[in-house]
Every structure is written in C-alpha cells, then in structure tokens.
Amino acid sequence: MKIVRTIMKWLGIGIGALLVLIILASLIMNVIFGRELRQTMAQLKAEGRALTIAEIRPAPIPDDQNAAPLFQKAAELMGSGTYNKPAPKAAPSIKELSDLISSNNTLDISTWPTAHREALPRLIQAPEMIELFAVLREAAQKPGYNNNLKYEDGPSMLLPNLGSIRQIARVLSIKAELDVQAGNGAEAFATVLEGLKLADLLKQEPVLVTQLVRIACDLVMIDRMERMADETDIPPDQARALIVELAQHTDATPWVRTMDGERVAMGLWCFQTFQHGSFHDFNSLLDMGMDMHFAPWLGWGLQYLYMPILKKDFAVYLTLMSQVQDYYKVPYWKAAETIRNHPTDQQIPRYCLLTRLLFPNLTAVVTRNTEHDAAIDVARVGLGLKLFKQKNGAYPDLLDKLTPEFLESIPVDPFTGKALIYRKADAGFMLYSLGPNQQDDNGTPRPTGKQATGEEPYDIAWKCAR
C-alpha cells in the first residue's frame, strides 16, 4: 500500500506540474498571440480596410433608381421565391423555356434537338415572356442595385434573386440568337447590351457569390455576341456602345470591396460568434484590451486553453484576407508568380482550424476574375476590329491601327502584361489572351462539357470566321 500511495503521490505531483505548465504556456501564448492580433487589427484599421458592418454596407438607393426590386419582379415571373416566401408559380412559357435550357448542356441552340429549337420562337414571343423582357429592360436603365442585405446575419445572410439572375442571362442569350435568325441584328445586339448592363449592376453588392454570378453572366453575353458576329454585321453605333459598356466591366474596385465584405460579413462574423455565441459590432475588437469571452458552451477550461490559438487563428485569417485583397489592386501579371507559387490556402497553419474552415480558395477566384477580364478585353478589341473592317473593307495588319478612331487604347493581356495575340485568319481573325498558364496554345478555346477535366491547356480566344 505504501508503494501505491507513493506512486499516486508522484502521479498527482506530475499531473499538477503538467497542468501548471499548460496554464503557463497558455498564458504566455495568450500574451504573444494577443499582441499579434492587436497589431494586425491596428494595421488593418490604419490601412483603411473595412472592419465593421457600417463600412461595407452599400449606400441607400432611392426606389426610383434601384434595380433590385425589378430583379425581384423578374425572379417571381420566373418562379423563384425570396426569403421565406414560397416560390410563385412560373408562367407556362417561362417554365418551358427554362426547362429546355436546363435540359441542354450548351447555349448553342444549333446543337439542340429539332423539337426544342422549333419551340423557341413560340416561347420567346409569349405574352408573359414579353412582360419579363419589359421588366429587364427597365431594370437595365437603373443606375443602382441594393437589396438591403442583412450583413449582420453573416453566412446565413439571404441573397435574393441570385438563383434566377444567371438564368435571366441565358434567356436573353437565346432571345438574341433568335433575333439574329429572324434577320433583326440590331435588336439582337441591343439585347446583348442590355444583358451586360444587368450583369454590371451586380458589382454594387460586396458579396463574393454575387460577383461570381456577375462574371458568369458577362461571359454568357460575350459568348453570344461573338457567335452572332460570325453570322451578321454589328451596327457601328451598337458596336461602339458595347465597347463603352465592356470597358466598365474590368474595374477592380468591386472586388476590393467584396474582399472587405468577405472579411467582415463572413470571416469576422464567424470568429466573433465562436467567441461570444452571438454577433456584435467589431468595434469592441479594435480596442487594445482584446478581452475575449467565449460562448458558454465552450466551458471555462476550453476558454483558457483555446483562447490563445483562436487569437492566432484570427490574426492569420485577417493577414491572408488582406493579401488576397491586395492582389486586386495590381495587374494580375504582376502578382501572378506569387499567386501561383504561394497559394493562400496553403499558408494556413494546421492548428488554425477556423481559418481552414472559412477560407475558400480565393486565389483561384482572383485567377477566374482575370479570365473574365481577358474575355472582356478580347471582346472590346474584337469589336474594334469589326468596326475597322466595316470602314476599310479588311482587318488591319496590326492592332495599333485601331487607335484612336475605334479604341482609345489597346488593352494588354492581363495574364502577361504584353500584347494580345492577333493575326488575320482567312476571312476573319484570331485574337486571344494566353490565359492562366501564360503559354501560347494557338488560340485553343477552353474545353467545356462532361469530358473536360479542367487540366487542358487553353487560351481566352475569339476566333472570328468573317
């Protein structure tokens, strides 16, 4: 028994000593990581980066200037619900067209089954479809877009209309193609311009998924425009209007604001909710005290053990978000090597669990947006080439011939910082950006469909046949 008591005595001493060491280590880390987090927050504040809901919330827009209610009306016509309201029943023609679009893997209607193609004119000309187009036309004329989102709800924030907006772009694309087939090229290109204006309104909402939908809609309309240019001439006034409109779609400011929104409404919301069990404004975190009181369910033991790690986790998240945000402030080609060789998601320490959960592959989003910018620039220059040929009877030998009459300046390839690749090809032309791999793949378009792996080399190209 004496031996057992001795063993238990030393075991108790060992456990006590271990607990003391753990508590000391926790206190030391709490001081060190707390100081790091305070410095990180102070630096963000000094740099003018948003840290509160008030800083990311878009300014109010008068009702007569706000396109959001019209987007909502269009969504309801298409059978999309909003918030907690049940989805309204879509008009038969709108539902049938939506079903046709969903059942085909491409917007190239020439590949659709004959029965599907033959149904399109009837559907597009239906009274409810005409009503939908009238709503969209009105929305495209509005200068503002504000859904008055509840940013304080964080990841549970409801985003109205997004489910229908991409479908709206597809419907407009089909309408434009049918207008071309009917010999009404002017109406077709007007529809493309309208679709681009609608997509550009979304840049006023500093939410990541909204911006991804915006660039997806842009690409739908650009693809349709380039296809139509192979079938009919673009009226010069509309070509110029499209060039002016497209020039507004590569502004990096919406993405900088979106990263502010992602930091506050998503990341910081989750960190503070994890700490407190509810959301409060982040002004409490900006003081130098940095007192953290965890949600009651964490227990008093976890509060002291995990507090230092969470502070470090928080500092890592804020630092990496700032790094991604800064990528949008310089041309992509200047940051390409860093983006490629040091992906932000691979810089997260293994113990920063919350950052790992919250931090999507945002560097991939930077690259995706640059592909969008490249497609915009290629489209603008391609339209300039079309205008040049309409006036001079042939495409120029060099892109420089387009300035200043048709384009104020020739954009460079956003992936390389060098000139876009251009050459005349038979009766048409080949124009392309080298794309993410920064290699010349001879204008190979990005593979699509079920067979695409995502690993194939491609360029951001416009191959014009006429």
Residue 63 within a domain: no
Distance separating alpha carbons of residues 275 and 258, to the nearest angstrom: 24
Is there a single domain that holds both residue 45 and residue 73?
A: no
Choose the final residue of a domain: 336, 360, 384.
Answer: 360
Domain hosting residue 164, numbered range: 68-141+159-234
**Same-domain check for residues 134 and 163:** yes
Alpha-carbon gap, residue 281 to 51, rounded angstroms? 9
Secondary element (H or E) of residue 153: none
Q: What is the DSSP string of 394-457?
A: S--SSGGGGTTTT-SSPPBPTTTSSBPEEEEETTEEEEEE-TTTTS--TTPPPP-STT--S-S-
| pLDDT tens, residue order, the chain (466 aa) | 667 667 676 776 767 666 667 667 667 777 788 888 889 999 999 999 999 999 999 999 999 999 999 999 999 898 875 555 666 777 889 889 999 998 998 888 989 999 999 999 999 999 999 999 999 999 999 999 999 999 998 888 888 888 899 999 999 999 999 999 999 999 999 999 999 999 999 999 999 999 999 999 999 999 999 999 988 899 999 999 999 999 999 999 999 999 999 999 988 888 877 766 554 544 444 443 344 444 454 444 455 566 788 888 889 999 999 999 999 999 999 998 888 887 777 788 888 888 888 877 888 899 999 999 999 999 999 999 999 999 999 999 999 999 999 999 999 999 999 999 999 988 899 999 999 999 999 999 888 755 555 578 999 999 998 8
What's the order of all strands across the beta sheet hosting 428-433? 421-425, 428-433, 460-464
Q: Give yes or no for a contact between 241 and 226, defined as CB atoms under 8 angstroms apart.
A: no
Rounded CA separation 241/235 (Å): 10
Task: Mark whether 96 and 134 lie in a shared domain.
Answer: yes
DSSP string computed for 20-67: HHHHHHHHHHHHHHHHHHHHHHHHHHHTT---SHHHHSPPP--GGGB-
Q: Are 248 and 193 in contact (CB under 8 A)?
A: no
Q: Strands 428-433 and 460-464: what pairing?
A: antiparallel
Based on the fold, state whether residues 280 and 313 are members of the same structural domain.
Answer: yes
**Is 463 found in the same domain as 331?**
no
Label residue 423 left, alpha or beta by phi (over 0 means left) and psi (-120 to 50 means alpha): beta
In a domain, 240, yes or no: no
Q: Is this model's pTM higher than 0.75 or not? A: yes
The conformational region for residue 442 under phi > 0 = left, psi -120 to 50 = alpha, else beta, is left
Looking at the structure, do residues 18 and 95 belong to the same domain, yes or no?
A: no
In a domain, 150, yes or no: no
For residue 137, how far is the Cα from the chain centroid?
Answer: 24
Strands 428-433 and 421-425: antiparallel
The H or E element spanning position 461 is: strand 460-464
Shared-domain flag, residues 127 and 200: yes
Identity of the amino acid at 244: V
Residues 109, 177 contacting (CB under 8 angstroms): yes
Contact between 174 and 100 under an 8 Å Cβ cutoff? The reply is: no
Burial of 216 (0-12, 13-18, 19+ CB in 10 A): middle
Does residue 31 lie in a domain region?
A: yes
- In contact, 413 and 433? CB cutoff 8 Å: yes
Do 341 and 220 share a domain, yes or no? no
Residue 195 placed within a domain? yes
Residue found under tokens 């503070």: 272
Cα–Cα distance between 370 and 386 in angstroms, integer?
A: 24
Which three-class secondary structure state does DSSP give residue 91? coil
Q: Are 27 and 302 in contact, with CB atoms under 8 Å apart?
A: no
The tally of domains found in the chain comes to 3
The two three-digit tokens of residue 403, written as one number:
């300035």
Do both 81 and 203 map to the same domain?
yes
The burial of 167, by beta-carbon neighbours within 10 Å (0-12 exposed, 13-18 middle, 19 or more buried), is given as buried
Domain presence at residue 92: yes
